[in-house]
């Protein structure tokens, strides 16, 4: 019987632990971390179990209080939501393990509120993904966002300002989304996604539907950092504490991208989306500009966290571009990239956190070849993640680009294909720049002898999560045919 209640269990786990952590944390502050890890682990376990169940037995619709929609609110746990829930919960679990030492160092004494907020944010993200109701989605969006603002505000000196900017633009985005929902409600009289989708073909080419679509895409685009609505992201990710960034960066924008998937492919369907104007193409073009812009800006940065933040803007572009292609290959490529990018970015941000912990900074121009000796494993994991980001086989990153390329070719969309190729090169520029610094002497600084350094590797609680994520990139690379087979089944058309 457990299967039919799974969606609720996942959300309730986070609710429970967000309360448990203050309860125990007030007594013993150092208990916050293990409890949070336990919560994350339980949720990850549920999501894994649920994903397998959904793949085998089909989707689960969970009606809260037994009220069926349109009266009640439901959680829809189908292939897409199960996949996203699995990705974010598993990645979050590893990030939570990893954050132990960083949280102690970067915000001593505040572990309890930090982990409690992290649980609340995860609740919001999971709720956004699973809910089948557009207004409920807004509420979960705000829960996740409010917790997220607070998490970002914990960090460097300018962090509150970065969080405030994010709050203003994020809430404005959320409000626009809500207005879009209002339009949809006025024309359809329901808030349930499945009900609404059934009614929409009668409203083909309706202006209200068109306006609602634009409002929703813009509103959620802010959260997904879709170009040109990405302005909040670089500062937030740079100034927030390393553990907050590692938690939010791989997950936050993905969840927003999920909503775009849900809205464009499930709720509206690609035909209604493109009925009045070729919206999906515009979204794709924006994604392309974002890909190039993010990559170029990443090259210009010397702070590693900021570089990775710009790289996130670029990578979210891949996902949304795959969505805009609206064909099976593009879809599979985008979803595979959700998985890959979540893992790669988590791994890279965790490594930047480790470097900050050990060196006190993560400024690439001050990296030297001593890192290779000091942190051999960290740097090996960094190399794997970086090469995967560049997209070289057999690492996972290559395959998402391969499917995306197939998707663009299927649509004869040569512009998008060219963007994918060019941006891979740009990725190579900014990642090899770091690798050069770490693995080689620096002749431009007149360095003749290798830097002498003793081994000073990060502790196991940081090394293992990064290591597992890095190795999983290789595994996903070889196993991607299986994953993509599943993903292709999820494709709605």
Partner 1 sequence: MLDFFFGHYAYWFVIILLCIGAYGILFKKNLIKKTIGLAILQISVVLYFVSIASKWDATVTVMDPDIPLDQVANYLNPLPHTLMLTAIVVGVATLGVAFTLLIAIYNRYETLDEEELIDKIQ
Partner 2 sequence: MDLSLVPLLAVLVSLIAVVPILLSSTKPNLREFWTILAAAIKFGLVLLLLPGALEGESVELHLVDLAPGLPLALKADPLGVFFAVIASGLWIFTSFYSIGYVRGAGEHKQTRYFASFAVCLSATIGIAFSANLLTFILFYEMLTVATYPLVIHNEKKEAVDAGRKYLAFTLTAGLLLVAASAMVYHYTGTIDFTPGGVFDGVELPHTAMLVLFIMFLGAVGVKAGIMPIHGWLPAAMAAPTPVSALLHAVAVVKSGVFAVLRVVGYVFGTDVMGDYNLNDILIILAGTTIILASLIAFNQDNLKRRLAYSTVGHLSYIVLGIALLTPIGMTGGIMHIAAHATMKITLFFCAGAIYVNLHRTEISNLNGIAKVMPWTMGSFAIGSMGLAGIPPINGFFSKWNLALGSLEGDMIIPVIVLVVSGLLNVGYFFPILYRAYFKPGEGLKKYGEASPLMVVPIVITAALSVLFGLFPNLFFNFFDLAVDISSTLFNNGSP
299 binds partner 1 per the rule CB under 8 A: no
153 binds partner 1 per the rule CB under 8 A: yes
DSSP for 346-381? HHHHHHHHHHHHHHS--BGGG--THHHHH-HHHHHH
The entry of partner 1, partner 2, none near residue 58 (CB within 5 to 8 angstroms by kind) is: none
Residue 240 phi, psi (nearest 5):
-65, 160
Whether 116 and 22 have beta carbons less than 8 Å apart is answered as yes
In angstroms, what CA-CA distances link 244 with 29, 121, 146, 268?
18, 11, 14, 34
Residue span binding partner 1 (CB under 8 A) among the ranges 21-29, 134-142, 387-395, 416-424: 134-142
User: From CA 478, how far away is CA 486, in angstroms rounded?
Assistant: 15
The entry of partner 1, partner 2, none near residue 139 (CB within 5 to 8 angstroms by kind) is: partner 1
161 binds partner 1 per the rule CB under 8 A: yes
Residue span binding partner 1 (CB under 8 A) among the ranges 24-32, 47-55, 148-156, 277-285: 148-156
186 binds partner 1 per the rule CB under 8 A: yes
399 binds partner 2 per the rule CB under 8 A: yes
User: Could you give the angle at which helices 376-390 and 396-410 cross, rounded to 10 degrees?
Assistant: 10
Exposure of 394 in the CB half-sphere (CA atoms within 13 A): 10
Q: What is the token pair recorded at 159?
A: 């962090």
Given candidates 140, 402, 416, 430, which one binds partner 2 under the rule CB under 8 A? 402
128 binds partner 1 per the rule CB under 8 A: no
Element at 178 (helix H, strand E): helix 159-188
Least spacing, CB of residue 441 vs partner 2, in Å: 5
User: From CA 343, how far away is CA 319, in angstroms rounded?
Assistant: 14
471 binds partner 2 per the rule CB under 8 A: no
434 binds partner 1 per the rule CB under 8 A: no
Of 196 and 320, nearer to partner 1 (C-beta) is 196
- Other C-beta atoms closer than 10 Å to the C-beta of 393 total 14
Given candidates 107, 135, 282, 432, which one binds partner 1 under the rule CB under 8 A? 135
Residue span binding partner 1 (CB under 8 A) among the ranges 104-112, 137-145, 357-365, 408-416: 137-145
Q: State the residues that interact with partner 1 by CB under 8 A.
A: 135, 138-139, 142, 146, 149-150, 153, 157-158, 160-161, 163-164, 167-169, 171-172, 175, 178-179, 182, 185-186, 191
């Amino acid at each position: 019987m457990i299967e039919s209640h799974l969606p609720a269990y996942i959300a309730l786990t986070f609710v429970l632990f967000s309360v448990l952590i203050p309860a125990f944390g007030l007594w013993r502050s150092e208990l916050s971390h293990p409890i949070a890890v336990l919560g994350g682990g339980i949720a990850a376990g549920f999501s894994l179990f649920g994903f397998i169940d959904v793949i085998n037995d089909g989707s689960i619709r969970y009606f809260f209080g037994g009220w069926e929609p349109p009266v009640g609110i439901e959680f829809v746990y189908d292939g897409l939501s199960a996949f996203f829930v699995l990705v974010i919960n598993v990645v979050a679990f590893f990030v939570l393990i990893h954050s132990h030492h960083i949280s102690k160092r970067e915000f001593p004494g505040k572990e309890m509120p930090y982990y409690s907020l992290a649980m609340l944010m995860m609740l919001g993200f999971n709720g956004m993904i699973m809910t089948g109701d557009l207004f409920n989605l807004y509420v979960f969006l705000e829960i996740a966002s409010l917790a997220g603002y607070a998490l970002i505000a914990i960090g460097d000196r300018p962090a509150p300002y970065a969080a405030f900017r994010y709050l203003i633009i994020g809430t404005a985005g959320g409000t626009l989304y809500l207005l879009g929902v209002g339009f949809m409600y006025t024309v359809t009289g329901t808030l349930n996604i499945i009900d609404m989708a059934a009614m929409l073909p009668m409203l083909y080419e309706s202006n209200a539907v068109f306006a609602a679509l634009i409002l929703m895409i813009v509103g959620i685009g802010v959260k997904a950092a879709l170009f040109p609505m990405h302005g909040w992201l670089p500062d937030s990710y740079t100034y927030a504490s390393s553990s907050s960034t590692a938690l939010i960066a791989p997950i936050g924008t993905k969840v927003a991208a999920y909503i775009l998937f849900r809205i464009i492919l499930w709720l509206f369907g690609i035909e209604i989306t493109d009925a009045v104007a070729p919206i999906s193409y515009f979204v794709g073009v924006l994604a392309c500009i974002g890909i190039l812009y993010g990559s170029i800006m990443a090259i210009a940065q010397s702070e590693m966290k900021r570089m990775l933040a710009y790289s996130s803007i670029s990578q979210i572009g891949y996902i949304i571009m795959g969505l805009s292609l609206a064909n099976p290959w593009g879809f599979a490529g985008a979803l595979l990239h959700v998985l890959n990018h979540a893992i790669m970015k988590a791994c890279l941000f965790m490594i930047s956190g480790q470097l900050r912990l050990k060196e006190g900074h993560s400024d690439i121009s001050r990296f030297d070849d001593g890192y290779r000796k000091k942190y051999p494993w960290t740097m090996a994991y960094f190399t794997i993640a970086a090469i995967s980001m560049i997209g070289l086989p057999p690492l996972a990153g290559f395959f998402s680009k391969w499917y995306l390329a197939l998707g663009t070719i299927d649509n004869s969309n040569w512009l998008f294909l060219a963007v994918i190729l060019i941006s891979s090169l740009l990725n190579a520029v900014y990642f090899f720049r770091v690798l050069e610094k770490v693995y080689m002497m620096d002749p431009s600084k007149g360095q003749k002898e290798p830097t002498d350094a003793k081994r000073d590797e990060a502790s196991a609680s940081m090394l293992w999560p990064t290591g597992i994520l890095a190795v999983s990139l290789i595994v996903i690379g070889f196993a991607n045919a299986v994953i993509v087979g599943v993903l292709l089944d999820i494709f709605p058309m």
